Amino acid sequence: MPLIKIATTDNEINNCYAVMSQLRPHILVDEFLPIVKDQMQNNYHLAYVESDGQVVACAGFRYSQNLAWDKFLYVDDLITDSQQRSRGYGKQLLDWLIQQARLNSCAQLHLDSGVQRLEAHRFYEREGISKTGYHFAINL
């Protein structure tokens, strides 16, 4: 079974770019490392699945707490390489995230997903994650 690791070095972070850019195409390669390192100063973690020396799936996440949900793990980013889908990597990473939430005494795991990502929604629902609300935003 492929290993899940937390990216801590510049090289490990950069190795996640090819997969993460499939979810976040607006981030240029030379912007990726500084953005991730800046987020890491605010409790962001970048996990990845590696198979045969290649990153095949990534998840950016953070631990937080609020009045609505108590302590929770929030998944900012979750993506499997488009050429590697349906091989169990996404499920492995999601199961690992749920385990991390439990190990860190989180009451819940949360994530948002773009309305256009229908395949992702089917995956989340199949894995027992429920739609619980709407996310609203305004560009400033």
| Per-residue pLDDT reduced to its tens digit, 35-68 | 999 999 999 999 999 999 999 999 999 999 999 9
Contact of 91 with 127, CB cutoff 8 Å: yes
Residue 137 lies in a domain: no
pLDDT of the residue at 92: 95
Residue 132 lies in a domain: no
Contact of 93 with 109, CB cutoff 8 Å: no
Residue 118 lies in a domain: yes
Tokens 């256009």 sit at which residue?
Answer: 116
pLDDT of the residue at 118: 76
Task: Provide the residue type at 74 as one letter.
Answer: Y
pLDDT in tens, 67-122: 999 999 999 999 999 999 889 999 999 999 999 999 999 999 999 888 888 788 88
Residue 84 lies in a domain: yes
pLDDT of the residue at 9: 98
Domain span holding position 114: 3-126
We report the CATH number of the domain holding residue 9 as 3.40.630.30
Residue 48 lies in a domain: yes
Residue 136 lies in a domain: no
Number of domains forming the structure of the chain: 1
Residue 135 lies in a domain: no
pLDDT of the residue at 83: 94
Give the whole-angstrom CA distance, residue 25 versus residue 23: 6
Tokens 């290993």 sit at which residue?
Answer: 3
pLDDT in tens, 17-27: 999 999 999 99
Residue 134 lies in a domain: no
